[in-house]
Amino acid sequence: MMYGCIGEHLPHSFSAEIHRMIGRYDYALQEIAPEHLDAFMRARGFLGINVTIPYKQAVIPYLDTVSDTARAIGAVNTIVNRDGALHGYNTDFDGLTRLIARLGLNVRGKKALILGTGGTSKTALYALRALGAAQAIRVSRTGREGAITYQDAARLHADAQVILNTTPCGMYPRIDEAPISLAAFPQLEGVADAIYNPLRSRLILEARARGIKAAGGLYMLVAQAVRAAEIFTDTPCPDGLTDGIYGRLLRQKQNIALIGMPGSGKSTVAAELGFRLGREVIDTDRVIEAQAGRPIPELFASEGEGYFRDLESRIIAGLAGRSGLILSTGGGAVLRAENVTALRQNSRLYWLDRPQEALLPTDDRPLADSREKIARLYQQRQPIYQSAADEIIPVAGTAREAAQEIESRWNTCASL
């Protein structure tokens, strides 16, 4: 491996994809068990590597030089081999400061809480001090290593204005977790999370639901990788490269989720979109039927709507952690807030808003098998669809036209 990333567990890393987009060298992922790190570092058989959990501090003794920033932080995530000498840097600092700037979050003079005590927490501490934060306090479950506990954070620092999460809590595959509740911090102005998988952690979704500026770690990941590439090759990258790669990666990883009334055309539009974008299409109603072993009308008749909704929620939760999909959801999927939250973690939600008079009753939809039921459902659900949707797609023509409209908007979407 000439260039790559080392860590203990890397199955869901995006780093190789990002460096391929940078396009300057071949880049590989290499998982290394703790007992093999010493041999790997002593062999020095690489030109440039990124270092991730849990080795950002463990690699430092093997380095011939450490940059001032990395030394002050006490963590290294980028190493370059120059004529056999290893030089360590911390490009997480560059990534985090760029994320904070992109978020439009002014931390100068503010009180900030840093969740976690690992290598990234040290980067966050240094970055906040460099940006002029009045206080930067690390928080952990145990309160060791100079940190305070989560209980003390809520009790003593309810006036915190910034929270940065550097823990893995909420990271794939345990995406339904959050390290802390934001209810205890009424003066919060901004939240940033180093987690990038899922694209929006539960912490980020809670912050946004409260009207707080918030962003996950994807932009930070891309920005630090671009800076690492500059160090690897000793050559500046073009202006705009970080934003360009971020937009491309976001579109690759983010799902397209279609919501809307029964009969609005979700399944047909999803199939058309799958063909146009070359993506896997999953229809949650079809998954439900496959798992239940019977059609939905029979499921409703034998088990009732509550059973159906529980099964639907389990299926959506299972799909929430996947990426690059087109999801066609059932008409009532958004009735449960937990489903909307799960979908939002990795999806952009498009509401197919077909006029009520164009919705036709069918026997295979138990809740929409008459015009009276459709009218009642439409009135009940319209505000829910509107609230859940990231984009509203008026559907007056063909499924192809609706798919074209979604594709057009999708190709210009470059923000989480």
Contact 300, 373 (CB under 8 A): no
Nearest to 249 by CA among 50, 13, 77, 24: 13
Is position 122 annotated as part of the catalytic site?
no
Q: What Cα–Cα distance (Å) separates residue 252 from each residue in 68, 175, 325, 372?
A: 36, 19, 9, 41
Contact 27, 20 (CB under 8 A): yes
How would you label 8-23 residue by residue, b for 16+ Cβ within 10 Å and e otherwise?
Answer: eebeebbbbebbebbe
Computed on alpha carbons and rounded to an integer, the radius of gyration of the chain in Å comes to 24
Residues 6+ apart with CB under 8 A from 232: 3, 24, 25, 47, 48, 78, 80
Considering the candidates 56, 111, 122, 266, report the single residue annotated as catalytic: 56
Contact 242, 226 (CB under 8 A): yes
Contact 45, 21 (CB under 8 A): no
Q: Kindly list the catalytic residues.
A: 56
